[in-house]
Amino acid sequence: MLSSFCKNYSNKTVQRTLIRYNSTVSNKNKNGTAIVFMNMGGPSTIPEVKDFLYQLFSDYDLIPISKKYQPMIAKFISTYRTPKIEKQYAEIGGGSPIKYWSEYQAKKVCEALDKTNPDTAPHKPYVAFRYAQPLSKDTYKKLLDDGITRAVAFTQYPQFSYSTTGSSINELIRNKKDLDKDDQIAWSIIDRWPKNEGLTSAFAENIHAKVEEFKKEDPNFKEEDLTILFSAHSLPMDVINMGDSYPAEVAATVYNVMEKLNFQFKYRLVWQSQVGPKPWLGAQTADIVEQLNTPGKEKLILVPIAFTSDHIETLFELDLEVIGEAKHPKNIKRCESLNGSETFIKGLVDECDHHLKNNTPFHKNLDLDFVLAKKDPNGNAPLRKFFTK
């Protein structure tokens, strides 16, 4: 009886040991999870500007001109605008820092996820830009070459718009059809995160820092003399009128930041970067700054609320144009961008952690976003077929 017990015990011990061993080997050999940061991107060097503009104006999802003639029109516009835009990038140091910050943030997120989410480790950082290097198609090829079988597309537009995140999704689907016919990679997506704790807390921290600067510079500073202008990239009204969720989600971010500031200051949501003759969502940032930038005590803080790092819209448009050309620039400060903020990066980690553990392919509203944009999710954009658990 004792011999039988020992034999059974020994067999069970061996079985448990083999299970643990096989599990360890399997864990070491698996390819883990790719975390792919998606964004519009920006030219890292001045010679890249023309191609960046061409890619941007070729995007029918962003600028719907003509599906048939869009490439030809994009070539003309990019050639015409390149000299002007090259000068702007030269004034901010010779290129956009968005690639640097995207790679830095993605790397930090993956390092943290390896510790918090061992079941999906190792986590591998990738960057996929819509209009600049590394282009999303090149990133997809690298994912395949690296043997990736599980990937999370993580939009770096915190607030969803069909023109931005929607365009990146469409490009991702096209790349999969062209490059990944065997379905090597299983995808899910984080397609919006407007009230992410790290996102809104980091903005609140950066606003506090600018308030303290005003206090040091002006002993007579009073909180009632300060207005915070949350500036987001505008969109054409024909996009908004289709029911795009972007304005509401940007407003949600703003409100959440103000809650963290206990609504101590006056504030307003304004919109920047309007181009062309079409009506755009307003009021325009530059117009409101001009109205409020009086010679009195009024102080202004500009907050780039829809951007996760510095690029041309912050470093040139806000710093050099809006503030640099203001009548009283000393009364205006631009809140630091999120860039390497540890609070912000923790928020990115938390967003990925929740997504991986919740095991949801995409946000419930994504189907509706594509329907309202007149892209049938069961036809042109097969979301449920593409994004899996």
| CA–CA distance, 75 with 87 (Å, rounded to integer) | 19
The burial class, CB within 10 Å (0-12 / 13-18 / 19+), for 45 is exposed
CB count in 10 Å sphere of residue 134: 17
Of 149, 194, 193, 155, nearest to 171 (Cα)? 155
> What Å distances lie between residue 196 and 120, 158, 164, 190, CA to CA?
22, 8, 19, 12
DSSP track, 280-312: BSSSBHHHHHHHH--SSS-EEEEEETT-SS--H
Residue in 350, 353, 367, 369 annotated catalytic? 350
Torsional class of 381: left (φ above 0), alpha (ψ -120 to 50), beta (otherwise): beta
Structure tokens at 35: 């975390």
Q: Is 191 a catalytic residue?
A: no
The partner residues of 152 in beta bridges, in order of sequence, read 35, 188
SS3 38: strand
Buried b vs exposed e over 210-226: b needs ≥16 C-beta within 10 Å?
bbeebeeeeeebeeebb
> What Å distances lie between residue 157 and 13, 75, 91, 102, 127, CA to CA?
51, 27, 25, 12, 13
Q: Which residues are catalytic?
A: 350
